[in-house]
Amino acid sequence: MDFDDTPDEAAWRAEVRSFLDRHPSAPEQPRAWQAILYDAGFVGVTWPVEAGGRGGTPMQQAIVDQETARHGLPPLINLIGIGMCGPTVIVHGSDSQKQRYLKRLLRADDLWCQLFSEPSAGSDLAALRTRAVRDGDGWRISGQKVWTTLAHLADFGILLTRTDPDVPKHRGLTMFVVDMKAPGVTVRPLRQMNGDAHFNEVFFDDVRIPDEERLGDVGDGWRVALTTLMSERLSLGGGGTSIGPKPEAVARHVAAHIGALPEDRQVLARQELGRGYVAALGARYTGYRQLSKLSRGELPGPEASAGKLSGTRSARDLTDLAVRVLGPDAATADAAWQDMQALLPGMAIAGGSDQVLRNIIGERVLGLPAEPRADKGVTFRESIR
Ligand SMILES: Cc1cc2nc3c(=O)[nH]c(=O)nc-3n(C[C@H](O)[C@H](O)[C@H](O)COP(=O)(O)OP(=O)(O)OC[C@H]3O[C@@H](n4cnc5c(N)ncnc54)[C@H](O)[C@@H]3O)c2cc1C
């Protein structure tokens, strides 16, 4: 990849920079910040124009992300909507769903969440049990989701359900758009170890969804969900953005404290810093490889899984190092490091756990034998007996 901007990219960067220079701080209301950026043309840059986007290139989006981070401005609130739900509606939604939802999602007029995981269907997503049963011109939904990021604020969600338990598990699923304010939807926040409550349990108690809110065909929900999961891995997996602390910030932090360590520990800290820094750069360049493919119009392959895996790992190693170099002072001195340390283990689970990503790389990239699957070819009902 050529790391210099092309003339077009340089012009775009200048446009983004000049806009952000005029907006040095974001309004307190995160929806308002997203609306400002959308109105300026900097949200949904790669989305098609008819979906409310700008029809731009992945590089243009990456430049917006880089410049927003460089200006110290906050990320968008509706990231799950933009990264996962919207792309799914674009591919599988009806014209009327696209009209109703997409532009409002980009402006954060509506916030969205992704209702996939359940208490016994996380990594094994196709084992989900939330039932959707035909009811006249609509459906009745009963069941429970868990770990639903932003559900407590969301207006809509994409909801994966089981419509037929009498076929193999991947074939009996159907996807819907659900109104999170509909009667029978209950959202209960879950508290994380850093004190925040970003995700939730969501209960569906005989919730009615009109058939026009179905996304894709009945029984075709797995294919629809794969669109979401592919977009998810792309939006988490790299593209030049890095998970967690920037290596330069950690290097500065460690360098500032390294002299205070006993001499033998200084050597060790330097070695660890070197190793962590190189690993973080490796993760970043993997992200750039993914960007290069996207800008050539190709779909990224295993880079997305590898990028998420290595990005999360190196962010954890660097944060641990920073906290260890501070020693007991870490408990009081620098809340940002403690916060990152509490947050990052979750990143190694969200959007595909490290172990599952390793399986994907093992099977699809290295060509190792596939895991034995006991429920292959049997109906879902038989598999849960
Ligand atoms: C911060 C965060 C945000 C999230 N946001 C959302 C959201 O918005 N919407 C949503 O639907 N979900 C969300 N999730 C849920 C997330 O997708 C699941 O937690 C994840 O898929 C893992 O599922 P699980 O928790 O059920 O663990 P399990 O699947 O029970 O896994 C437990 C352990 O076993 C390992 N394991 C399981 N199967 C295999 C296998 N085949 N090979 C090797 N190891 C295996 C796992 O890697 C893990 O270590 C979020 C999770 C987190 C942490």
Q: Are residues 119 and 95 in the same domain?
A: no
Residues with active-site annotation: 232
The pLDDT of residue 2 is 64
Q: Are residues 135 and 252 in the same domain?
A: no
CATH of the domain at 263: 1.20.140.10
**Is the separation of the CB atoms in 62 and 291 below 8 Å?**
yes
- Position 382 in a domain: no
- Position 352 in a domain: yes
**Is the separation of the CB atoms in 319 and 244 below 8 Å?**
yes
Give the total residue count for the chain: 385
What's the burial of 331, exposed, middle or buried (CB within 10 Å: 0-12/13-18/19+)? Answer: exposed
Q: Are residues 72 and 29 in the same domain?
A: yes
- Position 373 in a domain: no
Q: Are residues 12 and 43 in the same domain?
A: yes
Task: Determine the residue of 308, 349, 376 to mutate for testing ligand 1's pocket, defined as the one with the most ligand atoms within 8 A of the Cβ atom.
Answer: 349
Check whether 357 has a pLDDT greater than 80: yes
Q: Which residues pair with 135 in a beta bridge?
A: 138
Q: Which two tokens stand for residue 276?
A: 């962590």
Q: Given the CA of residue 120, which atom of ligand 1 is nearest to it? A: 26
Higher pLDDT, residue 339 or 124:
124
CATH of the domain at 90: 1.10.540.10
**Is the separation of the CB atoms in 326 and 334 below 8 Å?**
yes
Q: Given the CA of residue 123, which atom of ligand 1 is nearest to it? A: 29
Q: What is the mean pLDDT of residues 145-168?
A: 98
- Position 375 in a domain: no
Q: Are residues 102 and 212 in the same domain?
A: no
**H/E element holding 334?**
none
Mean pLDDT of the chain: 89
**Is the separation of the CB atoms in 66 and 58 below 8 Å?**
no
Q: Are residues 361 and 244 in the same domain?
A: yes
Nearest to 184 by CA among 131, 140, 134: 140
Q: Are residues 95 and 169 in the same domain?
A: no
- Position 81 in a domain: yes
CA distances from 16 to 74, 170, 282 (A): 15, 43, 27
Q: What is the pLDDT of residues 224-245, one digit of tens each?
A: 999 998 888 766 644 445 566 7
Instruction: State how many domains the chain has.
Output: 3
DSSP-based helix, strand, coil % in the chain, nearest 5? 50, 15, 35
Which residue has its alpha carbon closest to ligand 1 atom 44?
A: 355
Ligand 1 contacts (CB < 6 A) are: 80, 113-117, 122-123, 147-149, 199, 346, 349-350, 353, 355-356, 359, 371
**Is the separation of the CB atoms in 222 and 79 below 8 Å?**
no
- In this structure, the strands spanning 156-162 and 214-215 are unpaired
Q: Are residues 56 and 94 in the same domain?
A: yes
Q: Are residues 103 and 58 in the same domain?
A: yes
The pLDDT of residue 239 is 44
Task: Determine the residue of 88, 117, 229, 343 to mutate for testing ligand 1's pocket, defined as the one with the most ligand atoms within 8 A of the Cβ atom.
Answer: 117
The pLDDT confidence band at residue 281, using thresholds 50, 70 and 90, is: confident
Q: Are residues 83 and 131 in the same domain?
A: no
Q: Which two tokens stand for residue 146?
A: 């868990």
Nearest to 202 by CA among 136, 147, 259: 147
* Ligand 1 centroid, distance to 224 Cα (angstroms): 19
The pLDDT of residue 322 is 81
The whole model's pTM is what?
0.92
- Position 232 in a domain: no
Q: Are residues 97 and 164 in the same domain?
A: no
- Position 189 in a domain: yes
Q: What is the pLDDT of residues 199-211, one digit of tens each?
A: 999 999 999 999 9
What's the burial of 293, exposed, middle or buried (CB within 10 Å: 0-12/13-18/19+)? Answer: middle
Single residue among 107, 141, 165 that ends a domain in this structure: 107
Residue 316 neighbours by CB distance under 10 Å: 21
Alpha-carbon distance 190 to 371, whole Å? 32
Return the DSSP state at 121: B
Alpha-carbon distance 362 to 383, whole Å? 26
**H/E element holding 99?**
helix 95-106
Check whether 52 has a pLDDT greater than 90: yes
Residues in Cβ contact with 44 at an 8 Å cutoff, skipping those fewer than 6 apart: 38, 51, 52, 53, 54, 82, 86, 106
Return the DSSP state at 140: E
Return the DSSP state at 371: P
CATH of the domain at 205: 2.40.110.10
- Please state, for a pLDDT cut of 90, what percent of the chain lies above it: 56
325 φ, ψ (degrees, to nearest 5): -65, -35
Q: Are residues 136 and 188 in the same domain?
A: yes
150: containing domain? 112-219
Q: What is the pLDDT of residues 2-43, one digit of tens each?
A: 677 889 999 999 999 999 999 989 999 999 999 999 999 999
Q: Given the CA of residue 192, which atom of ligand 1 is nearest to it? A: 1
- Position 250 in a domain: yes
Higher pLDDT, residue 103 or 338:
103
